[in-house]
Structure 1
Amino acid sequence: MTAAQKIDPITLQVVRGAIETIAEEMAHVLFRMSFSSIIRESEDLGAGLFDTDFNTLCESESTPMHIGSIPGYLRGIAETLDDGEWFEDDVVVHNHPYFGASHSPDLAIVIPIFHGGKLVGFSANTAHHIDIGAATPGLIIDVPDVYAEGMLFAGTKLYRKGKRNETIWSFIRRNSRASRQLVDDIEAQIASARLGARRFKELLDRYSEVLVFSACNQLMDYSETMLRQRIAAIPDGEYRAEGWLDDDGRNRGQHLPVKVCVRVIGDRVEVDLTGSAPQTPTAYNVPFEGSTKVAAFAAFRKLLLDTATSETRVPSNQGSFRPISVIAPKGSIFNPEAPASAEARFTQCNFMIDLIIKAMAPVLPTEIIAGSSASISFASYAGVQPNGEYWVFLEVNEGAYGGRPRSDGPDAIDNLMANTRNNPIEDLAMHIPMICDRYELRDDVVPGAGRFRGGMGVVKAQRILTDGIITHESERHSNVPWGIFGGHEGAPGKCEIYNIETAEPLRQMHSKFHGLAVRRNDVMAYYSPCGGGFGNPLERDPQKVLEDVLDGFCSPENARDVYGVVLDLEAETLDLAQTEALRLQLEGQLQRQSL
Structure 2
Amino acid sequence: MPKDISKPIDPVTLQVIRGSIETIAEEMAHVLFRMSFSSIIRESEDLGAGLFDTGFNTLCESESTPMHIGSIPGYLRGIADSLDDGEWYEGDVVVHNHPYLGSSHTPDLAIVIPIFHEGELVGYAGNTAHHIDIGAATPGLIIDVPDVYAEGMLFAGTKLYRKGERNETMWNFIRNNSRAARQLVDDIEAQIASARLGAKRFKELLERYGKDLVFGACNQLMDYSEKMLRQRISDIPDGEYRAEGWLDDDGRNRGQTLPVKVCVRVVGDTIEVDLTGSAPQTPTAYNVPFEGSTKVAAFAAFRKLLLDTATSDTRVPSNQGSFRPIKVTAPEGTIFNPIAPASAEARFTQCNFMIDLILKAMAPVLPEDIIAGSSASISFASYAGVRDDGEYWVFLEVNEGAYGGRPESDGPDAIDNLMANTRNNPLEDLAMHIPMICERYELRDDVMPGAGKHRGGIGVVKSQRMLTDGIITHESERHTNVPWGIFGGTEGAAGKCEIYNFSSTGPARQMHSKFHGEDVRKDDVMAYYSPCGGGYGSPLERTPEKVLDDVLDGFCTPQHARDVYGVVLDLDAETVDAAATEDLRRSLDTLR
Q: Paired residue for 2:94, among 89, 92, 95?
A: 92
**Inter-partner Cα distance in structure 1 for 2:503 and 2:68:** 42
Q: Deviations over 1:101-129 (max 9, x none)?
A: 00000000000000000100000000000
SS in 2 for 1:560: helix
Runs of 4+ in 1 over 4 A off after TM superposition: none
For residue 75 of structure 2, what is the aligned residue in structure 1? 73
SS in 2 for 1:334: coil
SS in 1 for 2:318: coil
**Inter-partner Cα distance in structure 1 for 2:126 and 2:56:** 11
Task: Provide the aligned C-alpha RMSD in A.
Answer: 0.5
Q: Deviations over 1:213-241 (max 9, x none)?
A: 00000000000000000000000000000
Q: Paired residue for 2:342, among 340, 343, 356?
A: 340
**Inter-partner Cα distance in structure 2 for 1:323 and 1:72:** 17
- Report the identity percentage: 84
2:310 maps to 1:291:
no
For residue 228 of structure 2, what is the aligned residue in structure 1? 226
SS in 2 for 1:258: strand
For residue 263 of structure 2, what is the aligned residue in structure 1? 261
For residue 245 of structure 1, what is the aligned residue in structure 2? 247
For residue 488 of structure 2, what is the aligned residue in structure 1? 486
2:44 maps to 1:42:
yes
Please report how far the alpha carbon of residue 504 of structure 1 lies from its aligned counterpart in structure 2 after TM superposition: 2.4
**Inter-partner Cα distance in structure 2 for 1:54 and 1:574:** 59
Amino acid at match of 2:67: M
Please report how far the alpha carbon of residue 67 of structure 1 lies from its aligned counterpart in structure 2 after TM superposition: 2.5
Amino acid at match of 1:369: I
SS in 2 for 1:312: coil
Q: Paired residue for 2:438, among 422, 436, 439?
A: 436
Please report how far the alpha carbon of residue 38 of structure 1 lies from its aligned counterpart in structure 2 after TM superposition: 0.1
SS in 2 for 1:515: strand
> Could you tell me the TM-score, scaled by structure 1's length?
0.99
**Inter-partner Cα distance in structure 2 for 1:181 and 1:93:** 16
Q: Deviations over 1:561-586 (max 9, x none)?
A: 00000001111111001000000000
Amino acid at match of 1:500: F
How do 1:18-167 and structure 2 match up within 5 A? 18-167=20-169
Please report how far the alpha carbon of residue 2 of structure 1 lies from its aligned counterpart in structure 2 after TM superposition: 5.9
**Inter-partner Cα distance in structure 2 for 1:454 and 1:548:** 12
Q: Deviations over 1:176-234 (max 9, x none)?
A: 00000000000000000000000000000000000000000000000000000000000
**Inter-partner Cα distance in structure 1 for 2:3 and 2:275:** 42
**Inter-partner Cα distance in structure 2 for 1:74 and 1:542:** 54
SS in 2 for 1:362: coil
Q: Paired residue for 1:574, among 569, 573, 576?
A: 576
**Inter-partner Cα distance in structure 2 for 1:569 and 1:515:** 48
**Inter-partner Cα distance in structure 2 for 1:16 and 1:552:** 47
Amino acid at match of 1:285: N
**Inter-partner Cα distance in structure 2 for 1:7 and 1:82:** 38
**Inter-partner Cα distance in structure 1 for 2:543 and 2:585:** 12
Amino acid at match of 1:347: T
**Inter-partner Cα distance in structure 2 for 1:303 and 1:67:** 18
**Inter-partner Cα distance in structure 2 for 1:67 and 1:151:** 22
Which deviates the most, 3-12 or 328-337? 3-12
Please report how far the alpha carbon of residue 3 of structure 1 lies from its aligned counterpart in structure 2 after TM superposition: 5.3
2:400 maps to 1:362:
no
Please report how far the alpha carbon of residue 503 of structure 1 lies from its aligned counterpart in structure 2 after TM superposition: 2.6
Q: Paired residue for 1:583, among 574, 582, 585?
A: 585
Please report how far the alpha carbon of residue 66 of structure 1 lies from its aligned counterpart in structure 2 after TM superposition: 1.1
Q: Deviations over 1:480-516 (max 9, x none)?
A: 0000000000000000100011232110000000000
Q: Paired residue for 1:543, among 529, 538, 545?
A: 545
Unaligned runs of 5+ in 2: none
CA gap of 1:73–1:574, structure 2 versus 1, over 3 A, is same
For residue 411 of structure 2, what is the aligned residue in structure 1? 409
2:470 maps to 1:468:
yes
For residue 197 of structure 1, what is the aligned residue in structure 2? 199
**Inter-partner Cα distance in structure 2 for 1:550 and 1:36:** 40
SS in 1 for 2:381: strand
8 Å CA contact 2:372–2:484 kept in 1: the answer is yes
For residue 388 of structure 2, what is the aligned residue in structure 1? 386
For residue 328 of structure 2, what is the aligned residue in structure 1? 326
How do 1:439-454 and structure 2 match up within 5 A? 439-454=441-456
8 Å CA contact 2:49–2:128 kept in 1: the answer is yes
Q: Deviations over 1:1-42 (max 9, x none)?
A: 565142101000000000000000000000000000000000
For residue 273 of structure 1, what is the aligned residue in structure 2? 275
Q: Paired residue for 2:522, among 520, 523, 533?
A: 520
Amino acid at match of 2:470: G
SS in 2 for 1:185: helix
Q: Paired residue for 1:180, among 172, 179, 182?
A: 182
SS in 2 for 1:92: strand
For residue 593 of structure 1, what is the aligned residue in structure 2? none
Amino acid at match of 2:551: V
Amino acid at match of 2:352: N
**Inter-partner Cα distance in structure 1 for 2:384 and 2:113:** 33
Please report how far the alpha carbon of residue 250 of structure 1 lies from its aligned counterpart in structure 2 after TM superposition: 0.2
Amino acid at match of 2:161: Y
For residue 419 of structure 1, what is the aligned residue in structure 2? 421
For residue 495 of structure 1, what is the aligned residue in structure 2? 497
2:577 maps to 1:564:
no
Amino acid at match of 1:580: E
**Inter-partner Cα distance in structure 2 for 1:481 and 1:180:** 41
Unaligned runs of 5+ in 1: 591-595
8 Å CA contact 2:69–2:128 kept in 1: the answer is no
**Inter-partner Cα distance in structure 2 for 1:159 and 1:426:** 37
> Could you tell me the TM-score, scaled by structure 2's length?
0.99
Q: Paired residue for 2:312, among 292, 310, 314?
A: 310
**Inter-partner Cα distance in structure 2 for 1:588 and 1:122:** 63
**Inter-partner Cα distance in structure 2 for 1:586 and 1:418:** 39
Amino acid at match of 2:220: Q
SS in 2 for 1:193: helix
8 Å CA contact 2:147–2:342 kept in 1: the answer is yes
**Inter-partner Cα distance in structure 2 for 1:569 and 1:242:** 42
SS in 1 for 2:13: helix
